């Protein structure tokens, strides 16, 4: 008798996520190997063929520097059972293009409560359409953030520009961008930092100051946290493409 896969019940979920081109969906087993993926992930990492990903670990799919971060994250979820919620991360898309996403991972348990895998999604971060409900009120504050992200910005100041209370402002940003105002500010800084790392020869110290970090150490710490690699490693990775 063939024992059905404990992940077979997720076939319908996989099919639904196949329809979302800006969302990566996956299930991994207890050692971090892919057992289910949606079409978006297959398109980006396996030429559209899902079967090429099944049974593989992150280090067999992604650039080494990114794979280390993803595998470490998987191991933490599997070991502790704690979820990863809306983690801002760097992804490298086909053609070597860098982009940001929000990743969520949850442990999967069997009927005895034992953790047997992970399910997760990574949602591409695209600016919302300026006609989206609630965006108009944020326009002035967002333009200010885009122009002054390298400066010290207080949430109270941004909320005032939007004509909202701090609570209302935070909730509006969270709903439209799926991240907090602080995460959004970090994303703006990191977007510019990744551009400078790829397109200029400026020193890390200069990039740190120009993108709003107090020093190179703080820049490296935040960049490594979100990108899964140090800025110098990211720069060298981009130049090997």
Per residue in 27-68, pLDDT (tens digit) is: 999 999 999 999 999 999 999 999 999 999 998 998 776 787
The residue with tokens 């280390």 is: 68
Helix (H/G/I), strand (E/B), else coil: 86: strand
Q: For the chain, which domains are there?
A: 8-124 (3.30.450.20), 135-238 (1.10.10.60)
In this model, does residue 196 exceed pLDDT 80? yes
In this model, does residue 2 exceed pLDDT 60? no
Q: Strand 115-124's sheet: what is its strand order?
A: 34-37, 23-29, 115-124, 97-109, 84-93
pLDDT of residue 88: 77
Over residues 127-150, the mean pLDDT reads: 78
Structure token pair of residue 48? 């559209």
Q: Which residues pair with 92 in a beta bridge?
A: 98
Structure token pair of residue 136? 């108009």
**Model pTM?**
0.65
Per residue in 59-108, pLDDT (tens digit) is: 899 877 678 778 888 999 999 999 988 887 777 776 667 677 889 999 99
């Amino acid at each position: 008798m063939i024992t059905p896969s404990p992940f077979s019940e997720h076939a319908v979920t996989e099919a639904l996520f196949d329809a979302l081109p800006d969302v990566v969906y996956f299930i991994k087993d207890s050692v971090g190997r892919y057992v289910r993926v949606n079409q978006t992930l297959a398109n980006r990492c396996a030429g559209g063929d899902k079967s090429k990903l099944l049974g593989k670990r992150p280090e067999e799919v992604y650039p080494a520097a990114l794979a280390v971060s993803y595998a470490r994250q998987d191991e933490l979820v599997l070991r502790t059972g704690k979820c990863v919620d809306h983690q801002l991360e760097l992804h490298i898309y086909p053609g070597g293009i860098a982009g940001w996403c929000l990743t969520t991972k949850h442990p999967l348990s069997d009927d005895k409560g034992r953790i047997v895998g992970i399910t997760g999604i990574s949602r591409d971060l695209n600016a919302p359409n300026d006609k989206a409900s609630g965006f108009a009120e944020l326009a002035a504050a967002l333009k200010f953030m885009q122009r002054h992200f390298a400066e010290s910005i207080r949430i109270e100041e941004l909320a005032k520009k939007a004509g909202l209370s701090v609570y209302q402002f935070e909730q509006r940003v969270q709903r439209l961008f799926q991240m907090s105002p602080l995460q959004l500010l970090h994303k703006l800084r990191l977007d510019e930092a990744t551009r400078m790392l790829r397109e200029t020869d400026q020193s890390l110290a200069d990039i740190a100051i120009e993108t709003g970090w107090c020093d190179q150490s703080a820049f490296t710490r935040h960049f490594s946290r979100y990108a899964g690699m140090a800025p110098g490693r990211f720069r060298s990775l981009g130049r090997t493409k």
